[in-house]
A and B are shown apart, each in its own frame.
Chain A
Amino acid sequence: GAVVSQHPSRVICKSGTSVKIECRSLDFQATTMFWYRQFPKQSLMLMATSNEGSKATYEQGVEKDKFLINHASLTLSTLTVTSAHPEDSSFYICSARGTYGYTFGSGTRLTVV
């Protein structure tokens, strides 16, 4: 149990366009989900906390207008990278609290060209 599905697994987009990443809890309800970003050879960095039915909470230094988070249901949170630039290229990972600990999505590798 406690599976988190993340889609797409990889995406390439042109600079200036927007990309949406979906994170679904498949067999449990998640009132809170977390979004992380990971650059090559580095650890995961928490970007924001996504709360169902309310505004997301962003970590210091993360632009809320650039990284739009929507948590419209108990099983779906989305992260939209708006006006993407090459420096936004990274590995994005979502997470939710399951029964025995936190469950993570398989990640989305975003490449902005």
Chain B
Amino acid sequence: DAKTTQPNSMESNEEEPVHLPCNHSTISGTDYIHWYRQLPSQGPEYVIHGLTSNVNNRMASLAIAEDRKSSTLILHRATLRDAAVYYCILLNSGNTPLVFGKGTRLSVIA
């Protein structure tokens, strides 16, 4: 699987937007960009995924660069409950397992 690079940690103030970057310069044309997050002492949860176009859902937005070599997860208004480790993962085929990197630990300050 293609590798992704994320900052180890980021900090945000509560109620402000957060932009979590991910670099994936070796992405292939059929790789989907997936984002998951893991709250403390819980299993990961799905956040969003996309292929080429920007995506929005109730949790977040995903902005994908035109060359697809990078993407940004956007939390529009960070809350204390958004404090988690966020993982950016490339996934090619249907039922292969997710391979987790180190992710970005997001801290939210009240």
Is residue B29 within 8 Å, beta carbon to beta carbon, of the partner chain?
no
Using A43-B101, A43-B103, A44-B100 as known contacts, say yes or no to A93 and B95 having CB atoms under 8 A apart. no
Is residue A25 within 8 Å, beta carbon to beta carbon, of the partner chain?
no
Using A43-B103, A44-B100 as known contacts, say yes or no to A104 and B94 having CB atoms under 8 A apart. no
B window 84-110: CB within 8 A of A: 85, 87, 94-95, 97-103
| Interface stretch of the complex, out of A12-20, A68-76, A95-103 | A95-103
A window 25-50: CB within 8 A of B: 31-32, 34, 36, 43-46, 49
| Interface stretch of the complex, out of B38-46, B63-71, B75-83 | B38-46
B43–A97 contact, CB under 8 A? no
Is residue B34 within 8 Å, beta carbon to beta carbon, of the partner chain?
yes
A91–B85 Cα distance when bound, in Å, is: 15
The A interface is mostly helix, strand or loop, or mixed, namely strand
Nearest opposing residue in chain B for A102, CB measure: B98
A95–B85 Cα distance when bound, in Å, is: 17
Cβ–Cβ < 8 Å partners of B46 in chain A: 98, 100-103
A43–B42 contact, CB under 8 A? no
The B interface is mostly helix, strand or loop, or mixed, namely loop
A8–B87 Cα distance when bound, in Å, is: 25
B97–A107 contact, CB under 8 A? no
Nearest opposing residue in chain B for A31, CB measure: B95
Nearest opposing residue in chain A for B87, CB measure: A43
Nearest opposing residue in chain A for B48, CB measure: A101
Using A97-B94, A101-B34 as known contacts, say yes or no to A46 and B43 having CB atoms under 8 A apart. no
A49–B42 Cα distance when bound, in Å, is: 20
Using A43-B103, A101-B34, A101-B49 as known contacts, say yes or no to A95 and B98 having CB atoms under 8 A apart. yes
A95–B100 Cα distance when bound, in Å, is: 13
Cβ–Cβ < 8 Å partners of A109 in chain B: 41
Which of B38, B44, B99, B101 lies at the interface centre, i.e. has the most chain A CB atoms within 10 A of its CB? B44
Nearest opposing residue in chain A for B99, CB measure: A46
A49–B44 contact, CB under 8 A? no
Enumerate chain B interface residues (CB-CB to A < 8 A).
34, 36, 38, 41-46, 49, 85, 87, 94-95, 97-103
